[in-house]
Amino acid sequence: MLFTHDTTASLLAAVELVNTAVEPDTMTDPAQLDAFYARHRYTGSRTHDTGELDAVRALRAPLRRLLTSDRDTAVELVNETLAAYRAVPRLVRHDGLDYHIHVVHPDTPFADRIAAETAMAMIDVIRADEMSRLSVCADETCDGIVLDLSRNRSRRYCSTTCGNRLAVAAYRARKR
């Protein structure tokens, strides 16, 4: 295991959230945010309104900057984020998950929880000097973020779709 469960879960959620901004935008209504919340097993309060959706959508650019920055810049961004949200790490156990870290109160707005939890996850990435696990999709027509958790560091595409599109294009080019 490269990272702890909560670190991996936060990184996967952050990457998915950032990638919702890659055309076509897939985070445009509260129902999509509800599905994201459930898929990533978030806990805590929600307002289920467009204000919450707008706040989460506004996180995509800052999270993209964090996930694609160099190590020293990531440190600055993590420290700024943790200070801004007054993160106070505490161990919790819930919903069948063993102890893991929560850094803000469950009543904190959902977007703020995402930002703070992503910053905490990035602490592990930075300390392990594993920034190379995060990159931009190898498909030049895509701006998606790739989180490579493979042992051999072989993941190059943000999705199977991007990988397949390039494989088909290369196949067709060889057949000409």
pTM for the model stands at 0.91
Rounded mean pLDDT of 16-26? 95
Longest dimension (CA), the chain: 60
Summarize the confidence of residues 25-53 as an average pLDDT: 95
Instruction: Decide: 134 and 66 in contact? Cβ < 8 Å.
Output: no
* Closest among 115, 112, 109, 117 to 45, alpha carbons compared: 109
Give the dihedral sign, CA 93/96/102/107: negative
**Quick one: pLDDT at residue 147?**
96
Indicate the average pLDDT of the chain. 93
Neighbours of 10 (CB within 10 A): 27
Per-residue pLDDT for 1 more than 70?
Answer: no
The per-residue pLDDT for 111 is 97
Residue 75 confidence (pLDDT) above 90 = yes
Separation between Cα atoms, residue 125 and residue 122, nearest integer Å = 5
Q: What does 6-59 look like in DSSP terms, one character per residue? A: HHHHHHHHHHHHHHTTSSSP---SHHHHHHHHHHTT--S----SHHHHHHHHHH
Closest CA to 11 of 93, 83, 96, 78: 78
CATH numeric code, 5-130: 1.10.3300.10
pLDDT at 80 over 90: yes
Domain ranges in the chain are 5-130
